Structures are given as C-alpha cells and as structure tokens.
C-alpha cells in the first residue's frame, strides 16, 4: 500500500493464461473474515461468488484487509472514509482498494486491464475508484449501523447478538504475564488472525 503496509493477497490465474496466452478480467474480494487456506500450495475449494463465475473464468483475487489475519497494519471496524488525503499515511478502504487494483493490473500475468470488486468492502472501495475498476457488486455492506436490524432493532442495541460477532473483530489480544518475566499485568500483543490459529505458538490462541 502507499504507506508501506503489506496486505496478504491470494491470486488464482486460469491455466490457459500460460498455455494459450488467454486474458481475463480481475475479480477482487477484500475481506475481514480471512482468505484461507494460507500457503503457496494451498487452494480454495471454490472460486468466485458462485460456480457460474468459475465457469466463466476470471483472475480471482482474495485479500485480507488491513490489520486482519495475515495482513499488516492496524484494523479499524468500519474504517471511516477520509474525504481529504494529506499524504501517503492517510489511508482508508478506498485507498487500499485503489492501490491493490493498481498493483494487480501492473503485475498479474494475463489480465485484461479491467477488474471488478465484490464483497463486504466493495462499497467503500468504489469511492475514488481506480480507472480499471469497471464493476462493483457489494455483498451485505454496512453503511449505517443505526439503520436496519444488523446492530440495532428499532433503536435498541442488540447486545447478545453483537457480542459474539464483535469479539472476533478486535485488533489486539491480551495474554497474562508469565512467571519470571517480572510482570503480572496483561500484555497487549498484535493480532492478525482473530478467528483461528495459524501457528502453534501463536500467543493469541
């Protein structure tokens, strides 16, 4: 990204790009839920919003948003849009989407120079969009937590329902101080993998 933060991104390219020099449009999904499985020889069982997209063929791209799972940076729940940017440190979902699309168009083999974006963060990503972003299909986007029944029901905060959801979207985890380290105070450690453990020695698990 423009501020130097690296976002974990998986790219799936159809084989005939290399065997028949075919080209395809890019279909990007940025998510806070993880783009597992991780690893150069690990593959998702399905691609795209539905089987129809896989049959049609695209260059499918999945990205952990800033501060989530394998991506660097700090996570902010529903990161606010910054209408005015005063430098590369002023980032939001739109700048991260723009920089991602720009990198993909310039670096991924076999793309047509055009792309689309789908998923939860698609609405925020289409603001000040990259010229190569030709289509956006938001899926369950949150635009106002006070409307509808996602977080509030007729104005009342849905505590029981929301607690189980929000606890998985923290940006840091707390572990108790260990004997011999001179502290019994809880320690705040960076968390990149909120819902699942990627490594056996992950202190957040």
Are 14 and 114 contained in the same domain? Answer: yes
Place of tokens 């020099």: 21
Which pLDDT does position 40 carry in this prediction? 86
Please give the order of strands across the beta sheet that includes 59-64. 9-12, 59-64, 24-31, 111-119, 133-138
Are 93 and 78 contained in the same domain? Answer: yes
Domain's final residue, options 138, 169, 188: 138
In a domain, 2, yes or no: no
Range of the domain at 154: 145-205
**Residue 36, both tokens:** 């597992």
The DSSP output letter for 45 is: S
- Number of domains composing the chain: 2
CA angle in degrees (0–180, nearest 5) for 101-125-91: 85
The DSSP output letter for 182 is: T
Which pLDDT does position 200 carry in this prediction? 43
Between strands 133-138 and 111-119, the pairing is: parallel
Domain's final residue, options 138, 165, 190: 138
Domain's final residue, options 138, 168, 187: 138
Q: How far apart, in whole angstroms, are the C-alpha atoms of residue 14 and residue 58?
A: 7
Between strands 24-31 and 111-119, the pairing is: parallel
| Cis preceding-peptide flag for 86 (omega within 30 of 0) | no
Are 119 and 159 contained in the same domain? Answer: no
Q: How far apart, in whole angstroms, are the C-alpha atoms of residue 70 and residue 33?
A: 11
In a domain, 169, yes or no: yes
Residues of the chain with pLDDT under 70: 143-150, 170-205
Which pLDDT does position 179 carry in this prediction? 37
Which pLDDT does position 195 carry in this prediction? 37
Q: How far apart, in whole angstroms, are the C-alpha atoms of residue 63 and residue 161?
A: 27
Q: Which of 95, 69, 197, 53 is nearest to 61 (CA)?
A: 53
* pTM of the shown model: 0.78
Are 76 and 151 contained in the same domain? Answer: no
**CA dihedral of residues 16, 41, 45, 7 (deg, nearest 10):** -90
Which pLDDT does position 189 carry in this prediction? 37
Which pLDDT does position 147 carry in this prediction? 67
Are 31 and 123 contained in the same domain? Answer: yes
Are 106 and 150 contained in the same domain? Answer: no
Are 155 and 79 contained in the same domain? Answer: no
Are 90 and 49 contained in the same domain? Answer: yes
User: Maximum Cα–Cα distance for the chain, whole Å?
Assistant: 63
Are 89 and 118 contained in the same domain? Answer: yes
Which pLDDT does position 167 carry in this prediction? 75
């Amino acid at each position: 990204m423009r501020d130097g933060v690296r976002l974990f991104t998986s790219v799936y390219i159809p084989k005939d790009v290399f065997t028949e020099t075919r080209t395809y449009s890019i279909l990007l999904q940025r998510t806070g839920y993880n783009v597992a499985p991780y690893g150069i020889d690990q593959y998702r069982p399905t691609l795209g919003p539905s089987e129809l997209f896989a049959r049609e063929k695209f260059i499918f791209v999945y990205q952990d948003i800033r501060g989530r799972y394998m991506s660097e940076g700090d996570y902010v729940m529903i990161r606010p849009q910054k209408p005015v940017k005063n430098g590369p440190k002023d980032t939001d979902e739109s700048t991260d989407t723009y920089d991602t699309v720009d990198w993909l168009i310039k670096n991924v083999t076999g793309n047509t120079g055009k792309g689309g974006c789908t998923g939860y963060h698609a609405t925020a990503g289409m603001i000040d969009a990259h010229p190569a972003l030709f289509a956006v299909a938001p899926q369950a986007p949150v635009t106002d937590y006070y409307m509808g029944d996602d977080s509030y029901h007729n104005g009342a905060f849905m505590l029981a329902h929301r607690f189980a959801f929000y606890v998985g979207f923290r940006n840091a985890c707390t572990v108790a101080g260990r004997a011999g380290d001179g502290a019994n105070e809880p320690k705040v450690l960076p968390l990149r993998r909120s819902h699942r453990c990627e490594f056996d020695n992950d202190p957040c698990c």
